[in-house]
Amino acid sequence: MNDKEAIDMMQRCAHELRSLRAQRDALAPMAEAYEVIRDIVRMASPRSGGAMSIDLIWTLEKRIQELQPKPAATEETFDES
18-61 pLDDT tens trace: 999 999 999 999 999 999 999 999 998 877 666 667 788 989 99
CA distances 77 to 38, 43, 73, 81, Å, are: 68, 68, 13, 12
What local confidence, expressed as pLDDT, does residue 8 receive?
Answer: 95
User: Is the residue at 14 inside a domain?
Assistant: yes
Query: Distance of alpha carbon 78 from its chain centroid, rounded?
Result: 53
User: Is the residue at 72 inside a domain?
Assistant: no
User: Is the residue at 79 inside a domain?
Assistant: no
Q: Which domain holds residue 41?
A: 1-46
d(Cα 33, Cα 45) in Å, to the nearest integer?
Answer: 18
